[in-house]
Chains A and B, each alone.
Chain A
């Protein structure tokens, strides 16, 4: 026992009083602008829960009436990611809307210096918000890049009169309003808000699983005051996102030293310096996770993070690096826990890194499951079915 006047980290008690701590609540300015007739606001639906943010503000997370703003990368590379989100909504019988008139947020090009100007960027965002409002649903953003970008767009629209004026002009041409959601909500916040209900419906024991978590930079480093924190998780010293969900499912979350690092996607690096992304993902994230935790899976909550961490491992393998760690989203893990099909719903065959050992550890007969999936594919091939339905995916 060391006799020191300084407490150990575990015994240090934050002096923060959320009621008195300086805080930023953009909504106050948003509501004021609404009063002045500058814009309209999409209110969070009545059926919502409140979760604490970094500095204590309670953020409203809608449970239903959600308008699913999908991710280009998810739909293109890992479709089971968003399919799992929809599957969860359907299992809980929630009223959601999967729009066909949503556009890309164009933020990825923005990071690669390939898009035009702030007004165009903001107009794309507002056009999507308006589309949600027109059908009476609240935007739920699947993509971390879109989520981070929309938070920045909202911030800019609130603080820049000129930008509002330009966007208004564009919206008028489209026959739409300048309308902004009361909260910008990421789907993983919805998963976290649903964690106890998911755990109640859990059919697959996951207590033997150890996972590492990668929180997305876009989630907790941009407009950081909007991210969810929980004093029960890392003492609110890190975001509670993903970890809270996994722990509710009985999964052990292992800590590793480079948790704060980017996955390697790097906003623009994956586009302009892909070798750097591959090296970073393998050497700074995957290898460190394996060396320090040796987890069964790593779980993240963004398109870029899942794809970069997953699809970079082939390069590491070629160079004899310590790789081979399955990568999934929290929505996929949650759906799997509730009995979703690993191929028909999670579509794990789109993932690059071998995940069969992970499935076996969970007691899932992946060969049988794959045969079931192939049987559905055969029906499409022979013209019996045009496509797979939710009923077929059961």
Chain B
């Protein structure tokens, strides 16, 4: 007979949604999170708003947290790190360390929701000087500033007059092995460019890009308003380097539309950092014997029609641990994983 509990590893949007769904259906979710707080990357990185609806991130995460905290169908295990796993579908034993003590959890199925990490711009893109210039920040840093309600130059606290976004930092880059598009950065930069203009209406804002990939409704919800209402300048061409000259940054690169090299002074540069598998994602894949793709993300085996099953029966994956994903895809996959996990248990058989 199968154990009817389902272990979910990772307390971000995917894990929270999967836990809520499992409890709603009447099964028990055991949600394991290594941090002391739920909310995943939006919480950890202090996102100000979510894309594309610009909803307050903390408020949205509170809503997701409220759905599982004190939910009788959800057992929360915070400050808990999974260290090992045994068993098969219907009868898994998940070994973990909780507040320094070893614990074992029995479950019929497992959902991995261990997410992603933001690309570290110091790893490869030294030419952008993230570790050299105070006024070169990442899109994650920008979120923190928006959340604090203060968008100023880190070097001197002054209001920036010229701000540039650089796209595809750590994405679509064969040199470092990240050949994939991170999907979300074009939308987020466009949204952030609007926020910059709202904070500093007089600022001139530029976005340097390879292609703007504004899929679905993001095109009219974010891209056109940024250009038409907020007068953000989109320049097709990658920046090759950023240097400091006096009190300013100089962005060098090529304007491919104008077919000429460019050197433009800026006060601040925001690097649109892409998504990479989190360390937790890679560790959990190894613990559960799950195949990773060449980029280190968990490989799902069902193609386009099943985005959550893995090569290990009874272990499912949801959200950005399977590859770059926006929140819409993430919560949708979480629902799918919850349903398939329950299905897997029912196929093995549950106690009468």
Contacts and interface: CB of A to CB of B under 8 A. Distances in A.
A4 B145 contact: yes
Interface string B268-286: 0000000000010010000
A24 B177 contact: yes
Interface string A17-28: 100111010000
Contacts of A257: 243-245, 250
Interface stretch (A68-76, A99-107, A231-239): A231-239
Given A8-B154, A15-B120, A22-B177, A237 B131 contact: yes
Nearest to B246: A257
B52 interface: no
A6 interface: yes
A260 B130 contact: no
A383 interface: no
Interface in A11-50: 12, 14-17, 20-22, 24
Interface string B112-145: 0000010010111011011111101100010011
A258 B250 CA distance: 10
Nearest to B154: A6
B257 to A, nearest CB: 23
Interface residues of A, number: 29
Interface residues of B, number: 40
B35 to A, nearest CB: 16
Interface string A329-369: 00000000000000000000000000000000000000000
B99 to A, nearest CB: 25
A174 interface: no
A6 B145 contact: yes
A5 interface: yes
Given A55-B124, A260-B243, A2 B175 contact: no
B39 to A, nearest CB: 17
Interface in B30-69: 46
Which of B132, B137, B241 has its CB near the most chain A CB atoms (within 10 A)? B132
B306 to A, nearest CB: 27
B147 interface: yes
A5 B141 CA distance: 8
A237 B122 contact: yes
Contacts of B132: 9, 234-235, 237
A126 B306 CA distance: 49
Contacts of A230: none
B150 interface: yes
A2 B279 contact: no
Interface of B: 46, 117, 120, 122-124, 126-127, 129-134, 136-137, 141, 144-145, 147-148, 150, 152, 154-157, 175-178, 241, 243-245, 250, 279, 282, 295-296
